[in-house]
Homo-oligomer: A and B are copies of this chain.
């Protein structure tokens, strides 16, 4: 089984723009079906609640409902109060075994931002798809470049196979370094820290990584819910002599592949959604996927930068 890059990108971006519009523009007279609902916290639209989570929210005293929206009660005034209330609700949901995704409880919180980029609440990572709020991660493309006498440059990319013991996407292919961006961290500091933990890249070397932009996509997972995800991307050119080695047991093995081999594994669906789209972005930025090689080049380019109707963070 092999799929084209655009099919892969569409699969990873499984919550379509059309579905987004049907929730965003549903009205009380004409609520969308199936009934995803807009989620409001601190007067801000911050997420979409997936159909399978609506009943649970409607039973919680912390939320009020209309045919099109779910709203955290405004009496919860502060970040701390909101975070505490939601943690207590999730703890009850976890105990009662209500949602499969909460079995992967991470004890790690993701921040939700208000319209001025201010943190308005933090939510346990394994639960964010139930709220459909934005999530964030950082990925590092580690690559080795050789240039011949005719200025022709050849790039090979380091690829990691995730540990078979990881909670999410065990055994799948990933970037040399990648992970969620936890509460309070900044993307650049986070990528340097993770570079050492996941691939044994010293902070001296990791500090040479270049921020190259973002990739964003919106996943619709039947287990986790809606994941409007943003990945901060970094490129790091490594010496041919460098060999990565995992320090924290999160990686099974590393491969150094030419870009055609990377594309083969992409088309077989072996990469995680996050890494898959980050790798497609790398292939586009380095000329390995271009207008004359890829029939859906324009759609693919634009699909990698999905806009979301919810505010996000600022790190400055």
Contact = CB atoms under 8 A, between A and B. Distances in A.
A165 interface: no
A216 interface: yes
Interface in A71-109: none
Nearest to A211: B290
A294 B213 CA distance: 12
25 contacts: A17-B307, A21-B25, A151-B208, A187-B292, A210-B286, A210-B287, A211-B284, A211-B290, A212-B286, A212-B287, A213-B281, A214-B298, A214-B301, A214-B302, A285-B285, A291-B315, A292-B315, A294-B316, A295-B314, A295-B316, A297-B314, A297-B315, A298-B314, A302-B305, A304-B305
Contacts of A305: 301-302, 304-305
Given A211-B287, A214-B301, 11 more contacts: A188-B291, A188-B292, A211-B290, A212-B284, A214-B298, A291-B315, A294-B316, A295-B316, A297-B315, A299-B312, A301-B305
Contacts of A211: 284, 287, 290-291
Contacts of A315: 291-292, 297
A143 interface: no
Interface in A17-59: 17, 21, 25
A186 interface: yes
Interface size class of A (residues with CB under 8 A): 35 or more
A287 B141 CA distance: 14
Q: Count this chain's copies in the assembly.
A: 2
Contacts of A304: 305
A298 B187 contact: no
Interface in A270-316: 281, 284-287, 290-299, 301-302, 304-307, 312-316
Given A230-B298, A298-B214, A301-B213, A186 B292 contact: yes
B285 A213 contact: yes
B291 A186 contact: yes
A232 B291 contact: yes
Interface in A185-227: 186-188, 208, 210-214, 216
Contacts of A297: 214, 314-316
